[in-house]
Amino acid sequence: MRNAKIVCTLGPASDSKAQIRDLAEAGMSVARLNASHGSPEDRKDVIDRIRAVDEEVDRSLAVMHDIPGPEVRTADIDEPIYLEGDSRVRFFEGDTATPEDVGLSVDISVVEPGDSVLLDDGRIETTVEEVDGSDVYVHIENGGELKARKGVNVPGVDLDLPFPTEKDRRELEVAAEKNVDLVAASFVRDGSDIIEINNTLEEFGADVPVVAKIERKGAVENLDDIIEETYGVMVARGDLGVELPLEKVPVFQKQIIRKCNEAGIPVITATEMLDSMEQSRRPTRAESSDVANAVFDGTDAVMLSGETAIGAHPARTVETMHDIVRATEQSDVYERIRDERVPPSDESQADALAHAARTLADDLDAAAIVAASESGYTALKTAKFRPSVPIVATTPNDRVRRQLGLSWGIHSVTTPYTTEGADAIIHESVQAALRTNVAESGDTVVVVSGMMTDLEGVNTSNMLKIHIAAETLVSGEAIVSGLATGPLVRVEDGDVGSVPDRAILAIPADFDGDIEGDISGIGGIVDARETRISPITSVARDHGVPMIIDAAVPTGVDDGTTVTIDAERGVLYEDVVSDYSA
């Protein structure tokens, strides 16, 4: 199973329901909607289609709404224009563009002669020669074709744009209305920008985790402050490589990922990872290495932009990225690096338990770590320590399930609300690990659970258990509580004189009689009938024999099969079930 996740930007090449499903089946975990393009109404429709696919596919699929932030873009023109090198061009606030006059989305007249103005991720370089009122005249140092709505960067210049912008507010209102899973905030400067986004979402009645996009020098300098306030981080290398010297971006990428890993928050590596696959069916060797290096660095997710939004082969591109990530994670080099970079735990109990879960899983050769969590916090803490086994995160909250789809190594599953206490939560969580095929019956799993005091009737403290996973054979109604393991024996005539010690008796639905013989050595009784008051239930109560009713043992389970009756929860398991508190 793959640990690093894949984020895909949706666009004209990938926003139909069928196309979204193709991407999800190819390996997409998070669908990104770029609000710099299209309309809010279009985005609402796409979100509905993503939700429909999420309900149909096996893995979680989250929606990340990427708001534009205080950006500057060129005019939304119908046809590309060409800016000649060594020519003079006027920039102005407007919605038209020619080779001599290029409209921008905002006024940039605060620039001064000598400042650089870069277009389209720096592909077109200009230098300011003159500022006349709101008009800015530049010299084209390096020309090229300019298409509609390309990004404009002015490195080192504060354009004093509002945050969030009015467009951001409109998009955040859509995010709140559609209950998206994540909001990505562009061009953040420090932690206060994240607080502003959260306040705006709260104003619209929403609580959506924010992913901070690191795109400016100021954001790199204020990274610690941003990490303190944000849910996650995106290393947006396109604008970052324009705002900062290009040669420094790889170093900053590694530093940002490392800090996020140490803080235990998800981090996405983005921009031009498989750029050539917008047209080509195969990536370049350099692109393949770029994806692999991000995985070696410890990224939680890698992102595709134009490759899936407007590319010729969206699903194939996702499959290719999946293959690169999977091959990287299966290497001895990756295993060594992962183990060397396990961060120390902080002084919190949650950190200590998550770190202990990783150690136990290694020492016991466990198949998985099962993290039962209402808010997702326990699962995120577990992922922080990069265990060598899969993390199955169970939650009663569908939205939390989707959000956890961004984080490294987590396979998130929705489990039903329960008011039956911690043991019931653990039972449901371990069954989820079996249903997802992460663990098999008889496997050892490490179960870590956080506080769940917000669930009605449930008050669990942080806990850690070693558990033997077992498949549920049948569920019924508990009559006499207790836990017992033994061989299954079907009772046809009521005579138990020759059954083995600790046997679990299976009473068929058409049984009409009584048990004959000494039952003091019987382990438990599983009765297919619904009768709560009968001679057998009376005997079970008198002797304290665990018993459940309304539970017909499947015909495919042979006599002599080792089973466990958990009459506390009214469940019969295949194999031995045990757990040990830590």
Residue 243 falls in which region: left (phi positive, over 0), alpha (psi -120 to 50) or beta: alpha
Annotation says 73 is catalytic:
yes
DSSP states of 353-407 as a string? HHHHHHHHHHHTT-SEEEEE-SSSHHHHHHHHT--SS-EEEEES-HHHHHHGGGS
Annotation says 32 is catalytic:
yes
Catalytic residue among 43, 189, 213, 358: 213
* Contacting residues for 132 by C-beta, under 8 A, at least 6 apart: none
Longest Cα pair distance anywhere in the chain, in angstroms?
105
Element (H, E) at 296: helix 285-297
CA distance 15 to 432: 31
CA distance 548 to 506: 10
Annotation says 59 is catalytic:
no
Beta carbons of 69 and 200 less than 8 angstroms apart:
no
Residue 306 falls in which region: left (phi positive, over 0), alpha (psi -120 to 50) or beta: alpha
What's the token pair of residue 255? 């530093």
3-class DSSP assignment, residue 270: strand
Tell me phi and psi for residue 128, to 5 degrees: -70, 130
Give the total residue count for the chain.
582
3-class DSSP assignment, residue 206: coil
Q: Are strands 571-574 and 562-566 parallel, antiparallel or unpaired?
A: antiparallel
Beta carbons of 193 and 233 less than 8 angstroms apart:
no
- Residue 282's identity, in one-letter code, is R
CA distance 572 to 470: 9
Tell me phi and psi for residue 434, to 5 degrees: -70, -40
**Partners of residue 234 on adjacent β-strands:** 213, 268
- For the chain, give percent helix, strand, coil, nearest 5: 35, 25, 40
Catalytic residue among 51, 73, 178, 465: 73
3-class DSSP assignment, residue 566: strand
Number of C-beta neighbours around residue 163 at 10 A:
16
What's the token pair of residue 275? 């750029």
Catalytic residue among 9, 269, 271, 382: 271
3-class DSSP assignment, residue 537: helix
3-class DSSP assignment, residue 190: coil
CA distance 373 to 379: 7
Annotation says 2 is catalytic:
no
DSSP 581: E
Beta carbons of 31 and 433 less than 8 angstroms apart:
no
**Partners of residue 413 on adjacent β-strands:** 394
CA–CA–CA angle 108, 109, 111 (5° rounding): 85
DSSP states of 146-183 as a string? E-TT-BEE-TT------SS-HHHHHHHHHHHHTT-SEE
DSSP states of 488-526 as a string? EEE-SSSB-TTSPTT-EEEE-TT--S--BS--TT--EEE
Annotated active-site positions, please? 32, 73, 213, 271
